[in-house]
Amino acid sequence: MPERHILHIDMDAFFASVEQAANPRLRGKPVIVGGNRSYRSVVATASYEARAFGVKTGMPLGEGLRLCPQAILIPGDTAKYADTARRIFTLLNDLSPAVEVFSIDEAFIDLTHVHGPLSPPAPPMGLPRRPTFGGCPGSVADPVEAAYLMKAMIRHHFKLTASVGIGPNKLIAKLASGLKKPDGLVWIPQAQVQAALENLPVDELCGIGPRTKGHLLNLGVTTCGGLAQIPIRLLHQKFGIIWGDLLHKMSQGVSESPVVPYTQAPEAKSMGHSHTLNHDARDREDIETTIQMLAEKVGRRLRRDKMQGKVVTLVVRLAGFETFVRQEVQPAPIDSGAAITQAAMAIFDDMGWRGRPVRMLGVSAGALTARGVRQLELFEEERGERRLIEALDRIRDKYGERAIAPATLAYSQVWDDHYALKGHGRLTPRAVIRESPPEADPLLRGES
């Protein structure tokens, strides 16, 4: 079997670079793309000029501005970035049909089974020639030349730079793209994978975050080479069979994950929303209100796509940026905001919160399945609840998402803050869902 040639293309400081490409006056200057100064926010992207001062993606916006007070702050334009990304992915798809969109600024490209020369659309004049590495210039047999061509096309058409990693699989290709930024190109062939991983910090591998890194540190593991020496039985004991097997394979640079063309992308495996609070929440009621708002949004998306989720996940980030992620499998698939709220709050209560200030909350539903014919519900109350949910969806379809809200959300600060951040100003719903027992509500009794 021939060695796979997987490319990972990662746009450099994408949001900030798009702004600099669109506005020549921003070029060469420190740029931070983030939120409004009047609201708590994080740095979405910082240009490399700002990164030289220590500004990093994901840090609090206030901290970024303190590190680089001369930075030019841009609120950001999601539509502009998404459109640019779409056009870049379309260009890549013209060069190779096997392009998987990994995020708004990243893509994997599988050149393994593509034969014949690359035929770029409208090739730029005066494109500098690059040395070939075993193969005809510009042929798919030469992944390095293919990578140079893709980088040159992106620079020519969009005035943007990209870093490219090449490897025998997606894991190694993504690792390689981050080794030389910006505008880098690194190829790690199969024969060099073990040497490349031996002294590499474990958290350089995609999928190993701070929590897993901490657990591995407790085992004395700091490098991929050290992880490879851990008996797989011990990994099973510490992380479970599935995650333990995956860690063992990752330590050896093994990944069977295919490149799934974005034109054939599978349905979403989860749906979720998150919200950064305007102030650190210490009150349980504020936290529950935020979770309910997020759960209602998740439920609405599920029902709109005729999906249900069997796993509810809650993300809690404290003021010190310590993050906890917990999930629970539900007895049956759910799609209502109330059911998701109940499940998420049960998770929260099991976390041992102890009043610590909360900065961000996230709720998602996973293990999604299509909502087919519902099982016969045993109780009149359940049928009434379903009719109520469907009635509320019809109201929102006609008058908008904020036309009606549960009473617990209607006049809450989190409701106002969430939609004010999205540019809607302070809003009051047109109607409030009153909370009453089913027998007291004519709608739930089926009366018109």
Cβ-count burial 272-286 (b if 16+ within 10 Å, e if not): bbebbbbeebeeeeb
75-80 contacts: CB < 8 A, separation 24 or more? 75/33, 75/34, 75/35, 75/36, 76/15, 76/33, 76/34, 76/35, 76/44, 80/18, 80/22
DSSP H/E element including 418: helix 413-421
Q: At what angle do helices 380-399 and 284-304 cross, to 10 degrees?
A: 80
Among residues 371, 329, 333, the alpha carbon closest in space to that of 347 is found at: 329
CB 221 within 8 A of CB 227: yes
Residue 365 burial class via C-beta count within 10 angstroms: exposed 0-12, middle 13-18, buried 19 and up = buried
Active site residue 377: no
Tell me the C-alpha distance between 26 and 105, whole Å. 20
Cα 129 from chain centroid (whole Å) = 36
Tell me the C-alpha distance between 115 and 97, whole Å. 11
Per DSSP, helices labelled H in 96-142 are: none
CB 46 within 8 A of CB 31: yes
User: Of 106, 145, 288, 296, which one is the catalytic site residue?
Assistant: 106
The catalytic site residues sit at: 106
